[in-house]
A = this chain, B = another copy of it.
């Protein structure tokens, strides 16, 4: 995964801030804006939160990033080249990736609606094994 090439393809300049953001997202999979900022700040203290927001907007715009919106959770971002679904635990808020093929359903939807679909944002909601074990009331 060469971020510099992706950026140049989209006419976005390669800046240290931008690279740090991409590296951070790559490292974490799905991450909130705030966590990106806090993590980068450790070895790049001068970065500003506005810069993180502006970059995320720019990267989202050109489809390098994808948003994940799960009910009752902060917005998260991930690299969009890697398609997968998510499960969220409604007790502890954990979010995990799952590798499941949705192309069948996507095609079915496409046929039913006439839409040209190119992405899916799916989050299954439930209780994770740990919380189920702990908190069974």
Contact = CB atoms under 8 A, between A and B. Distances in A.
Interface string A103-130: 0011011101111111111111111110
Contacts of A29: none
A120 B113 contact: no
A119 B71 CA distance: 10
Contacts of A24: none
Contact of A121 (B96, B100, B125): B125
A132 B115 CA distance: 8
5 contacts: A96-B113, A98-B112, A115-B127, A118-B126, A118-B127
Interface stretch (A32-40, A41-49, A62-70): A62-70
Contact of A123 (B112, B120, B129): B120
A85 interface: yes
B113 A87 contact: yes
Contacts of A118: 125-127
